[in-house]
């Protein structure tokens, strides 16, 4: 159960790091998508997830069955 839920929850947390309301309030059309796909942000999230996925692999949460789901988070 943890192995199934963990990538979903981590993905939600990563998405929450960019608030679409900020861009709407400022009137920046396409700002949310631009921020969410910004190469620096993507690299930062990937680096953070690498540390987490290494740990979760060590404790058995990420196994061969669940690895593709985790890989999709940084794709």
pLDDT tens per residue across all 75 residues of the chain: 788 888 888 888 888 888 999 999 999 999 999 998 899 988 888 888 888 888 988 998 888 888 888 877 766
Torsion, CA 23, CA 24, CA 25, CA 28, rounded to 10 = 60
Q: What is the pTM of this model?
A: 0.63
Euclidean distance between CA atoms 2 and 20, whole angstroms: 29
Q: Cα–Cα–Cα angle for 29, 31, 34, nearest 5°? A: 130
């Amino acid at each position: 159960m943890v192995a199934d839920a963990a990538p979903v929850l981590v993905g939600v947390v990563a998405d929450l790091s960019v608030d679409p309301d900020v861009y709407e309030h400022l009137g920046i059309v396409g700002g949310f998508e631009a921020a969410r796909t910004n190469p620096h942000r993507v690299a930062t999230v990937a680096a953070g997830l690498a540390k987490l996925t290494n740990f979760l692999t060590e404790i058995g949460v990420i196994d061969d069955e669940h690895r593709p789901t985790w890989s999709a988070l940084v794709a």
